[in-house]
Amino acid sequence: MRHTFASNLLGSGWNFQDVAGQLRNSVTILKRHYYAPLSELEVEWCFRMPIGVGRFANLPFQKRLWNWQQLYEFDMRPDGTVSITELPTAPSSGEEKKRVLKKRGARIVWPDDREMQVLLWDKTQAQIARELNCRSTTVSQRAAVLKLKVPAPGHWLRVKFGIPVEIPKEVLKAREALAVRKKAADPMSGEGSTRPPSAPATPENQNPKPAAEPEAPQSGANGTSPEK
């Protein structure tokens, strides 16, 4: 609306000083950001208003700072002057709401320096803040206090679209140290494993049970074996 207003006035023949005064800006700012030369015919065709452009010169200067949470009513008088009336808002209860800072129930359990360094490059600060139940600014302050490397602006956008990113040496060293520490702490991995060796598997072609021996031949009535 401000640019349209300035184009309307400039195309109607107003000079830079008068238009700058209406916009509450300097002539330098007007020429840098608002100046768009238009012909008078284009102004009449595009920006013609039934009340006339000259009426805008009578807006009161004291209302240059507006309360955007307040509604206003503009009344155009026959002589060209303008009155501005503040519309009534909903009645307040009379009690001013004061901002109360809630005390944190539990302290933040921060990871150590190496884990924090790797975490800053594996997740965004917003994700880390949600996991630690704090604000993103708190995570940023923690990283600044520890003097950790943080991703540059646009890093996560490049990661999102699959664009290769460069990882600092400090982060790579921290990842290697964490991997070694995790391997040493895991009792089920490494050379010093205390896991009992498993029993060797039985080959498929080996019969797990010995073959049954043939039954002894029946003896005769007198207890002697039958003749061959």
| pLDDT at residue 221 is higher than 60 | no
pLDDT digits (tens, 9 = 90+) for 154-184: 899 889 888 899 999 999 999 999 999 988 8
| Secondary structure (H, E, C), 56-100 | HHHCCHHHCCCCCCCCEEEEECCCCCEEEEECCCCCCCCCCCCCC
Q: What is the DSSP string of 183-200?
A: HHH-TTSSTT--PPPPPP
- For the chain, the domains span 2-86, 113-185
User: For position 4, what pLDDT does the model report?
Assistant: 80
Q: How far apart are CA 179 and CA 176, in angstroms?
A: 5
Q: How far apart are CA 156 and CA 122, in angstroms?
A: 10
User: What average pLDDT score do residues 2-20 get?
Assistant: 84
